[in-house]
Structure 1
Amino acid sequence: MHITELTDLDYAGTGLQSHKLYLAIPESTSKITPGASTDGTAPAPHPLIVYIHGGGWVGGNFDAGATGLATGRADTEAFLKAGYAVAVINYRLSTEARWPAQIHDCKAAIRFLRAHASDWNIDPNRIVAWGASAGAHLAQFLGFTNGNEHYDNRSIGYDTATRNASSDVNVVIAAFGISNIATWSTSDAYWHDMVEYYKDTILGADRTAAEEADASPIAHVTTSPSLAETMPPMLLAHADDDPVVPAQQTRALECRLREAGLSEHIETWYPETGGHGDPEVWRSPKATTRFIGFCNAHLG
């Protein structure tokens, strides 16, 4: 499979490694037909997967010059083979800046990719936010705050086009994500203290209930008609045996969404096993077929 790799794209214009993204663009394919040229003069623009890494908001950024970020994994490689471009983004870790820096950066990355979509034959109207663990928390947050300028720091941007573009996403995939920081805890002795460290680092040990709510996707689920209009289709996935982020985090979010009358916006998947990111489950053909199928169904 032939792809074009672009490394260390500075979406914020700061020069920070935390503000870099990687982009892999596959060769033109007929597998994705929406948007195809009718006169045969140009290939169809690629839908885009924006992968947001986990790591408790304290780790996971790729190093300068990193390559192969999309071809070294079965799941991202499957998206490339299906005709999707794949971006992998860095964001300021909580050891660098506390919340809401992380969501500000994610939104800035989306704006940059949309503003420059034509440079890479990407469809700006078919952008998927896909995250795992802490990255799923951010992907959920993106979906629930489409059009919400409160979380869009437009001073962050490579250029004027980036600062002015929309940060909306069109589909969300959230795998074993944290939906409620206030209730996130684990009975697993090995992980208990680490979970508390993650929370203390992103919000502070002296955080208030209001600050926890502000940073929790579940708190942004309302019965307001505006959310029904702006929320994208969302696939929520979580293994029942997750020792780090209990599946109740996602089940509670599902319940809140259904109570808010948003059942038609979501699909759920709760494999019995899969732990917290076990690649045998989360990068398996079963998972990638489900993820790609969900995106195709809602982007066509």
Structure 2
Amino acid sequence: MSDAKAAIRFFRAHANDYRIDPDRIALIGASAGAITALHVTYLRESELEGDSGNSGYSSNLTACIDLWGGLYDNVAEIDPGEPPVLIIHSTEDRVVPYSEVKNISKRCKEVGVYCSLHPLEGAGHAPWDRHKEFLPWILDFLYRYCARKE
């Protein structure tokens, strides 16, 4: 997790080089990558920050996209004012149970964090080849939370 946080700090430090807005950084992950994205977004313990590079920059995110991942025992770490999350998950996932994301959605609702949960009915884990409809959901979410409004 500290490596992912270091990568976010790196992009902030080099935002001009990469022509990105350092105030609009989202993290997306699938399966274990989604578990990492969720933990990086919602767990704030200083020991998770690590000490590798660009310590003067924040590793906080603007938004999180979870493709079939979960937070497991850390759902209570989601606090008011945290970044919004888009969750796309199969109702029949046998690797990361659907109940995991229902818990995330419930916690977000309890604390007022925006959560958009899109269940994929009957799909298994990581249904890239069987469900193409989620790309517009991702783009809409990114536009809503990360696009510059002019």
Same fold at TM > 0.5: yes
Cα 1:296–1:265 shift into 2, 3 Å = same
Match of 1:244 among 95, 104, 123: 95
In 2, the alpha carbon distance for the partners of 1:235 and 1:134 equals 16
- 2:126 aligns to what? 277
* Equivalent-residue separation in structure 2 for 1:281 and 1:248 (angstroms): 21
**Would you say the 8 A contact 1:108–1:152 is kept in 2?**
yes
AA partner of residue 111 (structure 2): G
Q: 2:62 maps to what in 1? A: 170
**TM-score, normalised with respect to structure 2:** 0.88
Give the TM-score taking structure 1 as reference length. 0.46
Structure 2 residue matching 1:122: 3-state secondary structure: coil
Structure 2 CA distance for aligned equivalents of residues 281 and 217 of structure 1? 30
Q: Name which structure has the greater RCO, CA cutoff 8 Å, separation 6+.
A: 2
Shift of 1:298: 1.2
Partner of 1:293: 140
Moved over 4 A (4+): none
State whether residues 114 and 165 of structure 1, in contact with CA within 8 Å, keep that contact through their aligned partners in structure 2.
yes
Aligned residues: 147
CA distance in 2 between partners of 1:114 and 1:254 (Å): 29
Name the structure 2 match of 1:179. Answer: 71
**Residues 95-119 of structure 1, C-alpha deviations (whole Å, 9 max, x = no match):** xxxxxxxx11110111111111111
Superimposed CA distance per residue, residues 63-114 of structure 1 (whole angstroms, 9 cap, x where no aligned partner): xxxxxxxxxxxxxxxxxxxxxxxxxxxxxxxxxxxxxxxx111101111111
- Secondary structure (helix, strand or coil) at the match of 2:64 reads strand
Q: Secondary structure at the match of 1:129?
A: strand
Report the CA distance shift for 1:236/1:250 in structure 2 as closer, same or farther (over 3 A): same
Aligned residue for 2:11? 113
Identity %: 29
Work out whether residues 281 and 287 of structure 1, in 8 Å CA contact, stay in contact via their aligned partners in 2. no
Of 91, 104, 107 in structure 2, the residue corresponding to residue 253 of structure 1 is 104
Aligned residue runs from structure 1 range 1-300, under 5 A: 103-145=1-43, 148-153=45-50, 155-157=51-53, 162-180=54-72, 216-221=73-78, 227-229=79-81, 231-258=82-109, 260-262=110-112, 264-281=113-130, 284=132, 286-300=133-147
Q: Deviations over 1:122-149 (max 9, x none)?
A: 1111111001111111111122136x53
Please, what is the CA RMSD of the aligned residues? Answer: 1.7
Q: What is the Cα deviation at residue 257 of structure 1?
A: 2.4
Q: Could you list the runs of 5+ residues in structure 1 that have no partner in the other structure?
A: 1-102, 181-215, 222-226
Report how far residue 219 of structure 1 moved.
3.6
The CA deviation at 1:296 is 0.2
Paired letter, 1:235: L
Contact kept, 8 Å, 2:86 with 2:117, in 1: the verdict is: yes
CA offsets 1:167-192 (integer angstroms, 9 cap, x no match) = 01101001111221xxxxxxxxxxxx
Residue deviations 1:237-267 (CA, integer Å, cap 9, x gap):
2101112111111112222222x332x5111
CA distances 1:38-85 after superposition (whole Å, capped 9, x unpaired): xxxxxxxxxxxxxxxxxxxxxxxxxxxxxxxxxxxxxxxxxxxxxxxx
